[in-house]
Amino acid sequence: MGTVKTKRMPRAVREQQMLDAAVRTFGQRGYMAASMDEIAELAGVSKPLVYLYLNSKEDLFTACIRREAGALTEAVRTGVDRELPADRQLWDGLRAFFTYTAEHPDGWSVLHLQARTHGEGFAAEVAAMREEIVAFVTQLIVAAARSALPHSRTCSRGGTPIDPDLGEGEVAGLAEALVGAAESLAAWANATPGVTARQAAATLMNFAWAGLGNLMEGRPWSPP
């Protein structure tokens, strides 16, 4: 391999270029199989420069996780207009999630698969992102409950209003279930030709909103 010549550019721009190459490599080849040589070549820089900027393969992977996690969380949050009706908020949040994961399949692979299977430190980074998304989904479910029962009393724990007719534990469980389903569906959609982000969002919305509607109307399913 010949010496890679690099053009002068701001450090922040060069670092993002390296992270782009790393996310692509980690996402497509996996953490263990990815090499710093390959990442450097794809980024168009020398391997010593990658080490100079990002210290080690572990630090590079952590930086990739943090960047992708932050971008995904921001996409979901900014995709929702909290002034809209509750069903529209949930739909927009799901659509933003599936749009981002579809447009960034390598980043989603890093978050959903690679980071969770290669060490507690990496998994903890993803867990922090997931907690933030679950908290946001919890707010959307609470908004749906308050919209369906506008005159009911609410209580608050940790700053989050919870409708007493729905139950705090039930809201938490619903948020966890919805996020888990979205994660699995995104992985399936990315691996299945012809499935669009809109279709994936509609599938989960139809599944979730029907159940939420029954719950809000006092018609929950009861085990036999």
C-beta of residue 72 within 8 angstroms of C-beta of residue 107: yes
pLDDT tens digits for range 68-86: 999 999 999 999 999 998 8
Residue 181, number of CB atoms within 10 A of its CB: 15
CATH code of residue 94: 1.10.357.10
Domain count, the chain: 2
CATH code of residue 38: 1.10.10.60
pLDDT tens digits for range 107-137: 999 999 999 888 888 999 999 999 999 999 9
Distances (CA, A) of 198 to 76, 158, 195, 201, 202: 14, 34, 8, 5, 6
Across residues 83-95, what is the average pLDDT? 92
pLDDT band at 159; cut points 50, 70, 90: very low
User: pTM (2 decimals)?
Assistant: 0.83
As a whole number of angstroms, the distance between CA 179 and CA 94 comes to 9
Same domain, 51 and 68: no
End residue of a domain, out of 55, 75, 91: 55
End residue of a domain, out of 37, 55, 73: 55
In a domain, 223, yes or no: no
159: left (phi over 0), alpha (psi -120 to 50) or beta: left
C-beta of residue 99 within 8 angstroms of C-beta of residue 199: no
- Residue that has been written with the tokens 């010593």 in this structure: 48
Same domain, 133 and 212: yes
In a domain, 191, yes or no: yes
Cα 53 from chain centroid (whole Å) = 26
Q: What is the pLDDT of residue 110?
A: 95
Domain of residue 37 covers 1-55
